[in-house]
Structure 1
Amino acid sequence: MSNPSVRGVDVDPETRCAHYHTDRDVVAFKFACCERYYPCFRCHEARTDHEAVPWPRDRFDESSVLCGVCDTTLTVPDYLAADYRCPSCNAAFNPGCASHAALYFETEASE
């Protein structure tokens, strides 16, 4: 599947990009600053002219994480509870994304 609404650098049909392109790098995150999906914070930095604003906690009930394999959108709590697998298609997500969580959505550390 191809999701043309995901922006970034060399984004493939499953949302891998020039920066993160393993078989598990198949999620994209919506940024609150521009309401657009990017595969990673580096893609956002490369393709925009503004500072990235993570998805705010008061909007966690809105979908802001995209599975690049099946195009399912998830809320942040659903993504965090999914144990690094898409609840719809079971595609494996990269557990390494957890180390960048504060760049994509408000966490305790980013407040």
Structure 2
Amino acid sequence: MMEIFGFPIDSAGRCKHYYGENDIVSIKFTCCNRYFPCYKCHDESTDHERQLWQKEDFQEKAILCGNCFNELTIDAYIHYQQCDNCNATFNPNCAKHYSKYFEI
């Protein structure tokens, strides 16, 4: 199983910042190649600046479903908002923060 860094509060990757029912996505940060539940967890637990995933890298598997631990591509995550393995639905409000992770 992939390790989730930062401040997860449960095995699905919910964290102290975002812990709603559908907050089950962790994102691998390109700057450190580690999964974090959110950008706040990354910023509070690392000593470097966040780097955004560039559009040409959106086919990289950098999204972790907290329900089944399937890795999804960034493109699949952005366009479908659900896991292509277990069909778990992700929080649609996360789209408000895409600019913290991805070159949009």
The Cα of 1:61 is off from its aligned counterpart by: 1.7
Among 13, 16, 21, the alignment partner of 1:15 is 13
User: Aligned equivalents of 1:78 and 1:56: distance in 2?
Assistant: 15
User: Aligned equivalents of 1:17 and 1:27: distance in 2?
Assistant: 10
Secondary structure at 1:101 match in 2? helix
Among 14, 35, 38, the alignment partner of 2:36 is 38
TM-score, with structure 1 as normaliser: 0.87
Cα deviations across residues 40-98 of structure 1 (Å, max 9, x unaligned)? 0000011100111122222212101110110111111111221x221211112001100
Report the residue type matching 1:19 in the other structure.
H
User: Aligned equivalents of 1:52 and 1:31: distance in 2?
Assistant: 7
Distance 1:12 1:33, change over 3 A: same
Report the residue type matching 2:43 in the other structure.
E
Tell me, yes or no, if structure 1 residue 52 matches structure 2 residue 50: yes
Aligned residues: 104
Among 7, 10, 29, the alignment partner of 2:27 is 29
User: Aligned equivalents of 1:28 and 1:21: distance in 2?
Assistant: 12
- 2:2–2:69 contact (8 Å) kept in structure 1: no
Question: Percent of aligned positions with the same letter in both sequences?
Answer: 43
Runs of 4+ in 1 over 6 A off after TM superposition: none
| Mapping 1:23-102, distance limit 5 Å | 23-82=21-80, 84-102=81-99
Listed as ranges, the gaps of 5+ residues in structure 1 are none
User: Aligned equivalents of 1:50 and 1:99: distance in 2?
Assistant: 23
User: Aligned equivalents of 2:38 and 2:71: distance in 1?
Assistant: 16
Report the residue type matching 1:50 in the other structure.
H
Tell me, yes or no, if structure 1 residue 104 matches structure 2 residue 101: yes
User: Aligned equivalents of 1:10 and 1:77: distance in 2?
Assistant: 24
